[in-house]
Amino acid sequence: LGSLVSPEMDRYCVGFSYFMALSLLLCQFANFSSCNFDLNKPITRPLRSTRHKDASGLNGLPKKSSCGTERKEDSKQPSLIPPTAQQNAEASTKKGASGDSKDDFCPICLDRLIKQKQLRCKHTFCDECLQASLKHIGPMCPVCKDVFGVMEGDQPDGVMTWSSDSSSLPGFSGCGCIVITYTFPSGKQAEKHPNPGQPYQGTNRTAYLPDNEEGQEVLKLLKKAFDQKMIFTVGTSRTSGLDNQVIWNDISHKTSKTGGPQRYGYPDPDYLRKVKEDLKAKGIE
């Protein structure tokens, strides 16, 4: 009997040992309790995977998480940047944030400051760079355009006059209008003009303002800009394309009583605000 039973028992023992070893291996690499299998429900989304601190690889096998999926590392991964390079980058970032590095350089020549000069807007420049900027654009910060002195343009010699008219402008029916006349005779260009020594063609221009409180305010600002030679300049006419002409210098004017903004006339409810912005950009306020 023993000889008959022994082979069967041997096969049973081997099979049982294999089953136990396999069970142990599966328990080591999988957490069946987290899989939450429900045979009565269809699987509609991927199974969750969780990380287990006690799971370990075996002879080159990939580490596993629950349900047999490949394990994903924690989001707090060590940086791939070498420690020394990372420390240098962080130090550089902190230095840039403090402004120390930025303040050491001139925004004009992009080199280290020499005999630095700081404007009231707090921007700092090399003294030589600032002097060159003053000759080029006048007393205006090259960075933020803040005007720190009296601006003077290159407007040629001319005359500005104005008078009142009882007729009202569209959009300003409660008052008359102010008629401004600019007169420029022909002449010869100065050193600050595009072609020094060459002649320029004179012009006569007429503009209109409402004769109310805000219109009177704008008239005073325009007179101040005219005295600082900023309303006109010498250049190429946008309408005729001719060179060496007396032309507008980027301060909005209404040269027609009617026609709206498309024809440089009224009504235009934004005009008075816009012309004051144009004047402020040139330091007139």
- Whether residue 84 is predicted with pLDDT greater than 60 in this model: the reply is no
165 contacts 155 by C-beta, under 8 angstroms: no
pLDDT at 150: 78
172 contacts 185 by C-beta, under 8 angstroms: no
Domain co-membership, 113 together with 165? no
CATH of the domain at 104: 3.30.40.10
- Whether residue 82 is predicted with pLDDT greater than 70 in this model: the reply is no
Cα gap 257→178, rounded to integer Å: 11
- Whether residue 2 is predicted with pLDDT greater than 60 in this model: the reply is no
Sign of the CA dihedral 116, 118, 119, 123?
positive
Domain co-membership, 272 together with 168? yes
- Whether residue 105 is predicted with pLDDT greater than 50 in this model: the reply is yes
Q: Total structural domains in the chain?
A: 3
Mean pLDDT over 175-181 rounds to 98
pLDDT at 279: 95
Cα gap 47→66, rounded to integer Å: 9
Q: Out of 56-60, 111-115, 161-165, 219-223, which region has the weakest mean confidence (pLDDT)?
A: 56-60
pLDDT at 129: 93
Residue 231 within a domain: yes
Domain co-membership, 183 together with 274? yes
User: ∠ CA(37), CA(41), CA(45), 5° rounding?
Assistant: 75
Domain co-membership, 44 together with 110? no
Residue 263 within a domain: yes
Residue 91 within a domain: no
Q: How far is CA 92 from CA 81, 82, 85, 263, in A?
A: 15, 15, 10, 55
pLDDT at 244: 97
116 CB neighbour count, 10 Å cutoff:
15
Residue 277 within a domain: yes
Domain co-membership, 144 together with 64? no
Question: Could you identify the residue written with the tokens 């596993």?
Answer: 64
CATH of the domain at 273: 3.30.390.130
- Whether residue 179 is predicted with pLDDT greater than 90 in this model: the reply is yes
Residue 53 within a domain: yes
Domain co-membership, 169 together with 267? yes
For 6-43, write each residue's pLDDT tens digit: 555 555 555 666 566 666 655 555 544 444 444 444 44
Residue 134 within a domain: yes
Q: Out of 3-17, 51-65, 147-161, which region has the weakest mean confidence (pLDDT)?
A: 51-65
Q: Measuring CA to CA, which residue among 99, 49, 46, 38 is closest to residue 74?
A: 49
Mean pLDDT over 158-174 rounds to 96
Distance, C-alpha 204 to centroid of its chain? 41
Percent of the chain with pLDDT over 90: 51
Mean pLDDT (the chain, rounded): 76
- Whether residue 275 is predicted with pLDDT greater than 80 in this model: the reply is yes
Domain co-membership, 52 together with 114? no
- Domain carrying residue 58: 2-68
Read off φ and ψ for residue 63, nearest 5 degrees.
-65, 145
For 185-240, write each residue's pLDDT tens digit: 999 999 999 999 999 999 999 999 999 999 999 999 999 999 999 999 999 999 89
Residue 207 within a domain: yes
Mean pLDDT over 97-118 rounds to 79
42 CB neighbour count, 10 Å cutoff:
6
Residue 193 within a domain: yes
